[in-house]
Structure formats: structure tokens, C-alpha cells
Amino acid sequence: MVERYAGDISCETAWELLNDDPGAVLLDVRTDAEWAFVGVPDLRAVGKRPLFVAWQQFPAMTVNPRFVETVCESGLGAADTVVVLSRAGARSAAAAQALTEAGFRRCYSVADGFEGDKDDTGRRGGLNGWKAHGLPWVQS
């Protein structure tokens, strides 16, 4: 039986975990296009920087075959607390599951992601997610 990742958490819980756990790392698994054009979490207030490793490769959006390897090369290990963030929670859940299957024990997926669900006009960023909850972020 495959063990499931540690669970889905809210953006606010993710922020608290990053603030309260000195070893917790935010792993942003969106694409470089999203990082550049949509923005990224700003963790300076908690004395950290996000780790950026794409779960899928833009533009084909195929799963990054070196995802787990790249995360491990960053210095993260099985005992680390990893808070995984994507646009709306789907990719972060898949990435957290892949890390769990590779032996990581404390991987959490941010359920609403960075931009959250689409509103009635089809736009993200206003209903829920990191940005909508007013958590710090920057855009290049």
C-alpha cells in the first residue's frame, strides 16, 4: 500500500507552519512562466526563501522526470517539513505524493494554491489561495 502525503492545508496554516517550524521549506512547483509573470511567495518575514522546482515542464506540461532528484539535490531530506504550493492545489498534491513515495515523511499540499479557484469571470487570485488571503508575495 502506498502511503499518502501528510495532508492538505490552508494557506494560513502553511504560513503558520513556515513561521513556527524553523526547518519547514516552501516548495513552489509551478512553472518558470508562472513564477515570472504571476508572482511568488515572499517569505522574508519568516526569514526564508521558497525553493522552486517545477512539477511539470512548460509548455507541454509533462511531469518533470527529475522532480524528486532535483528536490533531493537542493538539500531537502526525508525528515524535512515540505509545504508544497502550486497554482490551485492539484500539482502540489501530486508533487507531495511523489515526494512521499520517495521517502519524505512530512509533505503538505497547500489546498488552494497560490492563485486559488476561478471566480465567476474565470479569473484566479480573488476567491482563495495565497494571494487572495493577503499573504506576502512579489512579482518580477
Chain segment 1-27, per-residue pLDDT in tens: 678 999 999 999 999 999 999 999 999
Q: Are 79 and 53 in contact (CB under 8 A)?
A: no
Q: Which domains does the chain have, with CATH numbers?
A: 7-138 (3.40.250.10)
CB count, 10 Å around CB of 125? 18
Q: What is the pLDDT of residue 126?
A: 87
Report pLDDT digits (tens) over 63-77. Answer: 999 999 999 999 999
pLDDT at position 43 is 98
- Average pLDDT of the residues of the chain: 95
CB 115 within 8 A of CB 129: yes
C-alpha span between 38 and 106 (Å, rounded): 27
pTM recorded for the entire structure? 0.95
